[in-house]
């Protein structure tokens, strides 16, 4: 395997699992192993890095714990780059009761997202994001599949978070996205797409106009309704 199609083999000596971990992480982040692709077989990686298969296996387990890969028996090791996955797993372990998870997720969103909306409206570069936000908003209205509508809903909120320009808050929001999907599906089944669309329209209009406080309040109203749906 050439260097252009694989991670670079570690030079000169046997590597620890952490060194293999670092090399594979670097290769994934640089796109050597793209999203959805399978890593080379365990034996091949062991030869490439000059280590035992046990060391490769240990490094792979750490990569999976970090959300970078998914290990499936009979399928292989696939790049997923889902860094929020470890946090999501912690949520399920800490809050095994579904209704409590959904309620606390909605509470967390109600604290984070109004400020993201305000920051998005205040962003002097918001015009660069508005076509994407409007397009995602329009797609939601015509969606008839609940699962797809929930994903459209999430995408709208993710673009608002991106517009806000705060990476920490965006990552916090991404970490609860899966929980948010479940609560959205429940709400969409119960109340339909148009209610979510109407809330989004108010948020979008405020962001387009650059009215930070109006955007904040519109998002608060939206998430208060979401919290009420799971309480």
pLDDT tens-place string over residues 161-187: 999 999 888 878 877 877 778 788 888
Same domain, 75 and 118: no
Q: What is the pLDDT of residue 89?
A: 66
**Is position 166 within any domain?**
yes
Q: For residue 90, is it within any domain? A: no
**Tell me: the pLDDT tens digits for 95-138?**
678 788 888 888 989 999 999 999 999 999 999 999 999 999 99
Compute how many other C-beta atoms are within 10 angstroms of the C-beta atom of residue 118.
Answer: 22
Task: Supply the pLDDT for residue 35.
Answer: 78
Tell me the chain's radius of gyration from C-alpha atoms.
21
pLDDT score of 9 more than 60: no
Residue 155 in domain:
yes
Q: Give CA separation, 226 vs 73, 121, 187, in Å.
A: 38, 22, 7
Closest CA to 117 of 185, 202, 227: 202
Average pLDDT in the chain: 85
60 and 110 assigned to the same domain:
no
Spatial contact of 219 and 114, defined as CB atoms under 8 Å apart = yes
Q: Please say if the pLDDT value at position 4 is more than 50.
A: no
Residue 26 sits in which domain range?
A: 17-79
Q: What CATH number is attached to the domain comprising 66?
A: 1.10.10.10
Give the chain's domain count.
2
What is the b/e burial string over 12-33, where b = at least 16 CB atoms within 10 angstroms of the residue's CB?
A: eeebebebbbebbbebbeeebb
pLDDT digits 0-9 by tens, 16-74: 888 999 999 888 888 888 878 899 999 999 999 999 999 999 999 888 877 788 888 77
């Amino acid at each position: 395997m050439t260097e252009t199609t694989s991670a670079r083999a570690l030079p000169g000596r046997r590597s620890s699992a952490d060194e293999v971990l670092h090399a594979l992480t670097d290769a994934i982040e640089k796109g050597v192993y793209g999203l959805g692709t399978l890593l080379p077989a365990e034996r091949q990686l062991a030869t490439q890095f000059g280590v035992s298969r046990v060391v490769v296996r240990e490094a792979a387990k750490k990569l999976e714990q970090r959300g970078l890969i998914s290990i499936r028996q009979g399928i292989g090791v696939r790049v997923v780059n889902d860094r929020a996955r470890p946090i999501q797993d912690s949520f399920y372990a800490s809050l095994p009761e579904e209704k409590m998870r959904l309620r606390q997720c909605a509470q967390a969103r109600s604290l984070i997202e109004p400020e993201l909306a305000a920051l998005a409206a205040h962003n002097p570069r918001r015009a660069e994001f508005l076509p994407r936000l409007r397009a995602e908003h329009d797609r939601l209205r015509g969606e008839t599949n609940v699962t797809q509508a929930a994903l459209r809903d999430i995408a709208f909120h993710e673009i608002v978070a991106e517009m806000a320009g705060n990476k920490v808050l965006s990552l916090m929001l991404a970490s609860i996205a899966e929980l948010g999907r479940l609560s959205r599906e429940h709400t969409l089944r119960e109340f339909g797409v148009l209610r979510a669309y109407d809330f989004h329209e108010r948020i979008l209009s405020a962001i387009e106009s650059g009215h930070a406080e109006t955007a904040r309040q519109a998002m608060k109203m939206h998430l208060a309704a979401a919290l009420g749906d799971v309480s």
